[in-house]
Amino acid sequence: MGEKIGLIAGGGSFPLLFAAEAKKAGREVYVVGLNDITPKEIEQYAAKTAWFRLGNVGGPIDFLKENGALRALMVGSIPHVNIFGGIIPDLRCAKLLFKLRDKKANAIFAAVAEELASDGIEIASSATLLEHLLVKPGVLAGKHLDSDTLRTAAYGWRAAKALSALDIGLTVVLRDQVVVAAEGIEGTDECIRRGGALTRAKGGELTVVKVARPGQDMRFDLPVAGAQTLRVMKESGATTLVLEAGKTLILGMEDFLAAAKETGITVIGADSSSFNQGK
């Protein structure tokens, strides 16, 4: 019998990717699914799945404990706008929300992790079993950056780091060292679309920079990228994607690289030493 591991699954392909890898590695995956958010396909990879409404904290904790899954991951997207009215909290969730210093993503995830820990459930890194999909430094696809794009990327790196430090978003869209769109609650793809819409009539090529938060907690809200983002970039007139190495997961590496080739988009893995910071 393999290790029992819990999965608190949000939306998108990230939970499916982890669950498939965990099953392949011989783990027993106990999935906490969220109604109308978690993809139903998750059940094919799970030893057992239980479904809960968003805002039910006590039920998922009991489910994981009853099945001996005392190590768990929280992965996948949850529309943050739900915090403003889409949650029907149980008693534990109501107490948790009352204690929040703010309703930013990091504060919410940290509070949930603390609540789980109080019942003996450890939240593991969301890159568990997926370390091979973390972005590496250097050119992942396409060509080396020319001097103008390098300067734009360097400025974008600083801007994205400032944005992420305030827990606003992780992504900026730039043209010629000017930020034309910054990510808020809408997410990366919609930010890119907005940048494209604002500049489409002006021509020119856009650069997208996505980073992790300073002191990124690897347990939750890890930056991710996939083939769909590259297709959105192509539609929006963006030609270069800069991702933070070591802290960004590629969801489906084979599909991602194929999409980069298909769209002609250059993808670069960068870290704090990649640019002449402050110059």
Q: Please state which CATH number belongs to domain 4-123.
A: 3.40.50.20
Beta bridge partners, 82, equal none
What's the pLDDT band for 279 if we cut at 50, 70, 90? very low
Residues of the chain with CATH 3.40.50.20: 4-123
Residue 107 CB coordination number (10 Å): 14
200 pLDDT above the threshold of 90? no
CA 77 – CA 224 distance, rounded (Å): 10
User: How, if at all, do strands 71-75 and 266-270 pair?
Assistant: unpaired
What's the pLDDT band for 278 if we cut at 50, 70, 90? very low
Residue type, 13: S
Whether the model pTM is above 0.85: yes
pLDDT digits (tens, 9 = 90+) for 228-249: 999 999 999 999 999 999 999 9
pLDDT digits (tens, 9 = 90+) for 23-73: 999 999 999 999 999 999 999 999 999 999 988 999 999 999 999 999 999
Residue 132 CB-density burial (10 A; 0-12 exposed, 13-18 middle, 19+ buried) = exposed
**Averaged pLDDT for residues 193-206:** 87
Residue 199 CB-density burial (10 A; 0-12 exposed, 13-18 middle, 19+ buried) = buried
Residue 66 CA: distances (Å) to CA of 45, 62, 75, 229: 19, 6, 21, 39
Residue 192 CB-density burial (10 A; 0-12 exposed, 13-18 middle, 19+ buried) = buried
Assigned architecture for domain 131-270: 3-Layer(aba) Sandwich (3.40)
What's the pLDDT band for 1 if we cut at 50, 70, 90? low
CA 77 – CA 13 distance, rounded (Å): 9
Q: Are 123 and 219 in contact (CB under 8 A)?
A: yes
**Averaged pLDDT for residues 171-195:** 95
Which contiguous run of DSSP H or E holds residue 7? Answer: strand 4-9
202 pLDDT above the threshold of 80? no
Per-chain mean pLDDT for the chain: 91
pLDDT digits (tens, 9 = 90+) for 81-135: 555 556 788 888 888 878 887 777 777 888 889 999 999 999 999 999 999 999 9
Q: Chain centroid to CA 60: how far?
A: 22
